Amino acid sequence: MLRHVAGIGMVAAGLIGGLGTAFAQDTRAALLDAQRAEKAKQLRPYEPGRLEKILLVVDRENPLARIAPHNGFFVEYGYSHKPTGSGVGFGGGFRHDLFDRRARVELEAGMSFSKYQLLRADFSLPYLAGGRFEIGAEATYHHHPQDDFYGLGPASLEDDRVNYLLDNRRIEGRAIARPRRGVELGTRIGVMNPSVGPGEDTAFPSLELRFDDQGAPGLTAQPDFTYTDVFGAVDYRDQPGNARTGGYYTLTWRRMADSELHAYGFNSVEARLQQFIPIFDKKRVFAVQARVITTHPHDDAQVPFYFKPTIGGTNSVRSFDDYRFRDDNVMFFNVEYRWEAFSGLDMALFTDWGTVAPKPGDLDFGDLKRAYGIGFRFNTAKVVFFRFDIATGGGEGVQLLTKFSKVF
């Protein structure tokens, strides 16, 4: 009660004080000036609150640019060429433009919680002809300790899941021309040295315990390969990181030559078509992707199992685990109906269809693996930075997929 009385007394005192100041004046101007003179006695700098202070520091220091600068030592979520299924990973290293921005060097190391590793060195002249031409060379070492394998073909069994280790050293040179905006033509030439070993995921058997070289061609011996890629791309998406209109088409031809064992050489062709059809001012988008990869072994050669294309996982048929189906040829289709809930969130209903086959002619539209589900995509106008997809329909349960990147 005393607190109440004291409080009311303070209010009264405040009124007296305030009015006392006002009463002393004879004019409006004097009244206002007196109020200002009173304030002048209590001036203090603006003091932002705690959250605003933090955000001001973020604005000023731009911590993302600090830890992942264009030039300098960097640390990033994820790393270059990080494979699907490798889990949360981080990369870091050093990168810098050289010779007055005529050249660029990148040195990078990456690792995931599943112990996937990358070492990479890249030197390039990326800004030739005003950025229209790029040449470069890259050396990488990949360590994939637990890639999944279920056997080959569309009838492989979930229960046959095993895992294997794949190490790969690669050196390649590249030349890329960008004759006009959205058009890219290029080639890569390189050598690689893959090496297969026992998988390190103890939750599943290692591959060699369940499969032999017939079930997993290339298991017993891995030669060095020389390879040549020729590729072209047309890209007229409005925002590549969060496309709402336009299209993206790529075609890649690859020749993998096994000059050591002459047993595993092959050619492959990969075609990818993405189309984004907007309605209602891009607030609704039908997004469609078709992707086909065919391989063509040289003479009596085989495509090694670790180079065979796969479907399943967050970027293909989402009701299945990563790498669930694997064979020489794959095709899959994704159709998404996306709608903007608000400018920071898109939702999507999706369906995926796909299959694998030993020969291109065996890719059977009548027997497609399928998925359907719903997705939440948190985005800016330019990029999807997080997505959560719930997928089912494949007969292997419900998949809850989170990724810090777009589907396509």
Partner 1 sequence: MRRTCLLGALVALWCLAGSGRAAAPRFYPDDPIARDPEMQDASRVERTRVSDTYDLLENSFLDAGDKESKRAANINTIDEVPDSSWFTNRIGSRAMTIDEFVRGADRGGGPSGRWEVTGRKSEGVTPGITIRDETGEVYWIKFDPRTNPEMASGAEVISTKLFHAFGYHVPENYLAFLRRDNLSVAAGATMEDEDGRDRPMRWRDVDAVLERAARNEDGSYRVLASRNLPGKPLGPFKYYGTRPDDPNDIFPHEHRRELRGLIVFSAWLNHDEVRSANSLDTLVTSDGRAVVRHNLLDFGSTLGSGSVQAQSRRAGNEYVWEARPTLITMLTLGLYVRPWIKVPYPDVPAVGRIESAYFRPELWKPDYPNPAFRLSRADDRFWAASIVAAVSEDAVRAVVGTGRFTDPRATEYLVDTLLVRRKKVLAAWLNGTNPVVRPALSASGLLTFDNAAVKAGVATAPQRYTIEWSRFNNASDAHESVSSEEAVTDSRAQAPAAIFESRFVSARIRAHHPEHPAWAEALRAYFRRTPDGWTLVGLERTP
Which of 129, 221, 345, 383 lies at the binding interface for partner 1 (CB under 8 A)? Answer: 345
Nearest to 296 by CA among 323, 269, 335: 269
Map the footprint of partner 1 across residues 38-67, applying CB under 8 A: 39-40, 43-48, 51-52, 55-56, 58-60, 62, 65-66
Phi and psi torsions of 165, nearest 5° = -100, 135
Residue the block writes with tokens 């970027």:
315
Which of 29, 155, 157, 203 lies at the binding interface for partner 1 (CB under 8 A)? Answer: 29
- Between CA 408 and CA 398 the distance in angstroms is 21
| Nearest approach, Cβ of residue 65 and partner 1 (Å) | 5
| Nearest approach, Cβ of residue 287 and partner 1 (Å) | 13
Cα angle for residues 120, 125, 127 (degrees, 5° grid): 125
Beta bridge partners of 246: 276
- Show the tokens assigned to 148: 């999944």
| Nearest approach, Cβ of residue 319 and partner 1 (Å) | 20
Determine, following the binding rule CB under 8 A, whether residue 12 of this chain makes contact with partner 1: yes
Determine, following the binding rule CB under 8 A, whether residue 84 of this chain makes contact with partner 1: no
Cα torsion at 211, 216, 217, 220 (round to 10°)? -50
| Nearest approach, Cβ of residue 389 and partner 1 (Å) | 15
301, 263 contact by CB (below 8 A): yes
Determine, following the binding rule CB under 8 A, whether residue 75 of this chain makes contact with partner 1: no
- Show the tokens assigned to 52: 């605003």
Determine, following the binding rule CB under 8 A, whether residue 397 of this chain makes contact with partner 1: no
| Nearest approach, Cβ of residue 103 and partner 1 (Å) | 15
Q: Residue count at the site for partner 1 (CB under 8 A)?
A: 59
CA distance to 64, 174, 210, 298, per residue, from 264 (Å): 44, 24, 21, 8
Map the footprint of partner 1 across residues 282-301, applying CB under 8 A: 283-284
SS3 assignment, position 23: helix
The residue ranges that bind partner 1 (CB under 8 A) are: 1, 4-5, 8-9, 11-12, 15-16, 19, 22-23, 25-29, 31-33, 35-37, 39-40, 43-48, 51-52, 55-56, 58-60, 62, 65-66, 69-72, 280-281, 283-284, 337, 339-345, 347, 349
